[in-house]
Each structure stands twice: as C-alpha cells, then as structure tokens.
Structure 1
Amino acid sequence: MTNAALFIARFLIGFLMIGGAVNKGLGPDGAGELLVAAGLPFWLVWPALAYNLLAGGALWVGIAVRPVAVTAAIYCAVTSFFHLQVFIAQDDPWQLTIFVKNWAIAGGCLALAVAGSGAWAWKPDHPHA
C-alpha cells in the first residue's frame, strides 16, 4: 500500500507541475503578468516552464525524488506570493484560493521529501536517507 500511495502522490504532484509547464507554454501571458506585477521580468516564465517540466518528469519516473520534492515545495511557496499580491491588489478571491492551494501542495511535497520515492521508481530512494 505504501509504494502505491507514494507512486500516486508522485504522479499527482508531477501532473500538476507538468500541467503548469504546458499552461505556461500555451499561454505565457498569465504567469508573465504575475511576474511583471511583482516587478520581475516577463522572461522568467521560460525558466519556470523548464523547472515545471523537469521537476514533474523527475517525480513521474522517480528520479531524485527527495531533492526535487524539496525544490517543488520551495517553488510552490514562492509562487504563492504572486497570487497573494494579486488578491490584495484586486480583491480577487480566486487568487487567495490559489495562494492556499500552493501552500497545501508545498506541504505534500515536503511529506514526499520525507517519505521518498517508494519502491516503484526508476531510482528508488534509500529508506530513511
């Protein structure tokens, strides 16, 4: 049961990350506008897309799950503040929902970082590493 749960967790979080990459690739304006509103350059959309794609892929196949999960938690925490900024500026309740969702995903990533990949991975983590 543990290996199946960890595989599903990796798949779901990886799906979210890859979905973010696809979303940025097909319509970079949404993420770019959040960056620009925070005083950052629009072009940062492209490294974010690459990170989403690589992190999601690594989680899917089970490579370097612990470090990838830690960086994904940090990524989710940092990007949540873009949504909080829009919520405060525009009083958009959906942005507050995304802010909270990102923190929940960061928590799931940290749990995955502690638990590791499980046995169903290309390169399984050592138990208690």
Structure 2
Amino acid sequence: MDLIGRILLAALFAAGAAQKALAPAAAQGLLAGIGAPVWLIWPALGLNVALGVGLIWPPTVRASALVAAAYCAATSIFHFQPDDGWQMSIFVKNWCLAGGFLVLAAARKA
C-alpha cells in the first residue's frame, strides 16, 4: 500500500512537470500575476521531476516528502484568489497535500 500511495503522489508531480513542459503559459501566467519572473517555471519543472522520482525511490522518500510539503505550501500562494472558487480549491488541496507529505515523512525513518 505504501508504494501505491507514493506512486499516486508522485504522479501529481509527474503531471505537473508534463504540464509545465507542454503548456508553460498557464504556469508562467500565475508567476507573472504575482510579479515573479516567468523563467522560474523551469526550475519548478525540474523540482517536479525530482519529487516524482524521489517519492518512489525508497532512500529519498523522507527527504522528498519534506521538500514536497514545503513546495505545496509555498506554491499555494499562486492559487490564493478568493474570487475564483477553482483556484481556492487548488489552494486548499495544496495545504492538504502538504499535511499528507508531512505524515509520510514522519512515518519514514530518519
């Protein structure tokens, strides 16, 4: 069950990497919307790939889960748009994922 759960969590980051690679304009728009440089999409894409792999490869699960928790919490700021219900659902989802990643990290041996 642990591996299946980690694969499903990793799929989120794999999909995020694919989306950034294939249609970067949406993520670049979110970055531009808060005044961040749009080139940040490329390091974010790399981190998405690394987290996707890191959540599956056993020696890196704990560290990857901690980074994923921080990433989800930090990127939630892009989705804090109270007038947009869809973006607010993503905002809440990111915080829920951050909590889940903290639980995963706590369950792994240091």
TM-score (norm 1): 0.81
Distance 1:68 1:19 in 2: 17
Mapping of 1:1-129 within 5 angstroms? 4=1, 6-84=2-80, 87-88=81-82, 91-116=83-108, 127=109, 129=110
Deviation of 1:9 after TM superposition, in Å, equals 2.0
Distance 2:59 2:95 in 1: 23
Deviation of 1:13 after TM superposition, in Å, equals 1.0
How many residues are paired up? 110
Q: Deviations over 1:9-58 (max 9, x none)?
A: 21111110111000100001111111111111000000000000011111
Gaps of 5+ in 2: none
Percent pairwise identity? 48
- Look at both structures and tell me which one has the larger radius of gyration over its CA atoms: 1
State the 4+ residue runs in structure 1 displaced beyond 4 angstroms: none
CA RMSD of aligned residues (A): 1.1
Gaps of 5+ in 1: 117-126
Larger helix proportion of the pair: 2
* Contact 1:83 1:98 survives alignment (8 Å): yes
Q: Secondary structure at the match of 1:40?
A: coil
Give the partner amino acid of 2:93: K
* Contact 1:9 1:112 survives alignment (8 Å): no
Q: Secondary structure at the match of 1:39?
A: coil
